[in-house]
Structure 1
Amino acid sequence: MPELIAPTTRLHTAWLAARADWGPGVHEDGFGLRPEDEVDSPEGFAAWVARLTAEPGSVCRWIVEDGQVLGGIALRHGPEDYVRVFGHIGYGVRPSARRRGLATWALGRMVAEARDLEQVLVVCEDGNTASMRTIERNGGVFDGMYGTLRRYLIKTR
């Protein structure tokens, strides 16, 4: 059974395996990874995890099962400009763990955690039908396009 947990340094090797599953140069949505983050060394990974867990206005969780990191999801309350473009919630599931309903499950859990907001904005690339279905299964209502991004609103209450 999967669980959502706070980022932790004890899963460094498991997280690196998840990143390798995505492949080089691919963005892992939901992990809050920035280009300047160095996550290969234990020290760099620890610094990144410390930033994730202390970042104001953001809640990051990893989708973990049997010691494997299967994906990540983040709830963002700000900054407002960033949320307006990329949404309140971003998520990603590693390729080898897809088609199991993990993204739908994790998004539902994170929407429940966002009860302090009346609704959340979730976006996905136009044409990403798996993500569109995930959002719609959680009550997402299409709210228009922003460039190549489809915008969905989900009521939290």
Structure 2
Amino acid sequence: MPELIVPTVRLHAAWIEAHREWGAGLHEDGFGLWSSDEVNSPAGFAAWVTRLTAAADPAWPAGAAHLYRWIVEDDRVLGGIVFRYEFDGATPPMGHLGYGVRPSARRRGLASWALGRMLDEARLVGLDRVLIMCAPDNVASARTIEHHGGVLADVRDTGLGPARRYWVKL
């Protein structure tokens, strides 16, 4: 049975295995990985995990929070999801939610399951709707968002490339 957990250094090897499965240069949405992060060494991984967990604190960065969770089953990292929100009610530039499931764990409903849990978090902080984006050709992600009531607003360039933008009423 999968679970959503707070990022932890305990799963360093399992996370590296998932990261390698994605392949070099591929984006793993939901993990908050920056190009400057060094995750291969224990010290670098620990620093990255510390940044992820600190991001849930309202003081980092001022006025915003990022709640990162890993999708884990039997100590295997299957994916990641992030809930981003601004305390002033503004919509984050990359939307409120982002997620990714490693290739070997796809088509099991994990993204939909994790998204449902994180939509509950959005309700808890009082949001009445959230913005979720996906690549225009990512049919599986579009279906996942639509399954949770997502209504396509538009397709536009986000600065990182084009994205389908969906609003989900909570």
State whether TM-score is above 0.5.
yes
Q: Deviations over 1:2-49 (max 9, x none)?
A: 000000000000000000110111111000000000000000000000
Of 119, 127, 131, the match for 1:111: 119
- 2:127 aligns to what SS in structure 1? coil
- Quick one: which amino acid aligns to residue 23 of structure 1? G
What is the match of residue 80 of structure 2?
72
Q: Quote the offset at 1:127 in angstroms.
A: 1.5
- Residue 78 (structure 1) shift: 3.7
Distance, in Å, in 2 between the alignment partners of 1:63 and 1:52 is 15
Shift of residue 81, structure 1, vs aligned partner: 8.1
Which residue is equivalent to 1:99?
Answer: 107
Query: TM-score, length-normalised on structure 2?
Result: 0.87
The structure with the greater share of residues assigned to helix is: 1
**Please, which runs of 5 or more residues in structure 2 have no aligned partner?**
none
Give the % identical residues. Answer: 60
User: Partner of 1:146: helix, strand, or coil?
Assistant: strand
Consecutive unaligned residues in structure 1, runs of 5 or more: none
- 1:90 has 2:89 as partner: no
The aligned amino acid for 2:25 is: G
Show the counterpart of 1:153.
Answer: 167
CA distance in 2, matches of 1:82, 1:47: 28
**Which residue number corresponds to residue 136 of structure 1?**
146
Q: Secondary structure at the match of 1:71?
A: strand
Q: Describe the shift of the 1:48–1:82 C-alpha distance in structure 2 as closer, same or farther (beyond 3 A).
A: farther
Q: Distance in 2 between matches of 1:76 and 1:120?
A: 10
The answer to whether structure 1 residue 53 and structure 2 residue 62 are counterparts is no
Counterpart secondary structure, 1:114: helix
> TM-score by structure 1 length?
0.95
CA distance change for structure 1 residues 82 and 45 in 2, over 3 Å: closer, same or farther? farther
RMSD: 1.5
Task: Give 1:7's aligned amino acid.
Answer: P
Match of 1:141, as an amino acid?
A: V
